[in-house]
Amino acid sequence: MSDETNNDEKIAANDEPEQSATEESTPEATLDEVNAEIEAELMDEMDSQAEEEQQSETDQLRAQAAVANDQVLRVQAEMQNVRRRAERDVENAHKYALDKFAADLLPVVDNLERALSAIDSADEGQKPVAEGIELTLKSFLDVLVRFKIEAIDPAGQPFDADLHQAVSMVPNPDLEHNTVMDVFQKGYTLNGRLVRPAMVVVSQG
């Protein structure tokens, strides 16, 4: 009887430490798992924050690049406009450099034409004078044409306010209204730009 009791006590004594060890190991394992989960969550949150910050910085850099690119395009467009204006100004300066000089020469042409028209072509004594004036006038007109100075002689043409200046209007049933009947003074253009309008008489229908 005593042997059986001792055996039972030994078995009970052997069982108690095993049960205690099992109970002690379970909380430690659970704590490690919790810590691992927390660390994983923290790492995920940090990675997410880092991605958001990186995306925000990327968006800011893209916005700054877009603004800088727009400013560069504006500067380039402005520089092109400045260059075109400068080229146009230089071209106009070359084309119309003789504008004032041509205007000062035109009265000389007018006087030569008046002198030629005043000579009596039937008078043999005046014929050499007429030929000399005619040659001088022709040479003068050739020079004007060479420098792109062209005459406006609109007799019989419709009146053009951009090129002609009407000094009077005369009723004339044989002509259409606003037709140039007579030219008092020729007009001239320099490279297509008006230097002096033609002085004309216009028909009144």
**Greatest CA separation found in the chain?**
184
Closest CA to 144 of 184, 111, 103: 103
What pLDDT was estimated at residue 162?
93
Answer with the one of 95, 126, 151 that is the final residue of a domain: 95
Residues 199, 131 within the same domain:
yes
Residues 110, 176 within the same domain:
yes
Residue 119 dihedral angles phi and psi, to the nearest 5°: -80, 135
Tens-place pLDDT, residues 74-97: 999 999 999 999 888 888 777 788
Answer with the one of 95, 112, 135 that is the final residue of a domain: 95
- For the entire predicted model, the pTM comes to 0.58
Residue 199 dihedral angles phi and psi, to the nearest 5°: -90, 115
Residues 152, 84 within the same domain:
no
Q: Which two tokens stand for residue 136?
A: 């001088």
Answer with the one of 48, 71, 95 that is the final residue of a domain: 95
Residues 107, 160 within the same domain:
yes
CA pair distance 43, 33, nearest whole angstrom: 15
Residues 71, 56 within the same domain:
yes
